[in-house]
Amino acid sequence: MAVRHQLIRRAPRSVWAVLADPTLYGEWVVGPTESTPLDQLWPEVGSRLRYAVRVGPWSTEGVTTVRHRELGKELELEASFKALGTARIFLQLRPWGEETVVICDEHPLRGLGGSLHNSVIETALQFRHRGMLARLARVVEQQPDEVLRA
């Protein structure tokens, strides 16, 4: 399993505010170029986002579904791409003084991604997480405090 962590220089409530805003999804997740909530209750369990992923001339749509959430602490997602299968992404927020340690744990679940899972895929996930968590930190740390308190 690809597990990585990132220290974010904001309180957990500020990090959660970004995770709970479906309009910010494409700003911190590596891959999606655009996202649209399919349900108005994001991030309630069962709510979904649809997004497009483009790599050069190739593009595909995916859907991410919230499978578990503990308000302000944990968000567990299942990302689904028809051709590649699904992956589990678990984000945990831990207070670290006035800051937050975010732990990301991702692994393929079903389909081609799951059956081809190997050390090369794990390495690619580590690079993806490095970028994703750095982007999450940047988005959270750039948000005005009054927006994150709402």
Residues 30-80: pLDDT tens digits?
A: 777 777 889 889 999 999 999 887 767 877 788 999 999 999 999 999 988
Number of domains in the chain: 1
pLDDT at residue 130 in the model:
82
List the domain range (segments joined by +) for residue 67.
2-149
pLDDT bin (cut points 50, 70, 90) of residue 113 is low
pLDDT at residue 1 in the model:
58
Q: What's the pLDDT tens digit per position in 2-34?
A: 788 999 999 999 999 999 998 888 888 877 777
Give the residues across from 146 on adjacent strands: none
Task: Tell me the C-alpha to C-alpha distance, in Å, between residue 27 and each of 30, 32, 133, 134, 135.
Answer: 8, 9, 11, 11, 7
Residue 80, domain CATH: 3.30.530.20
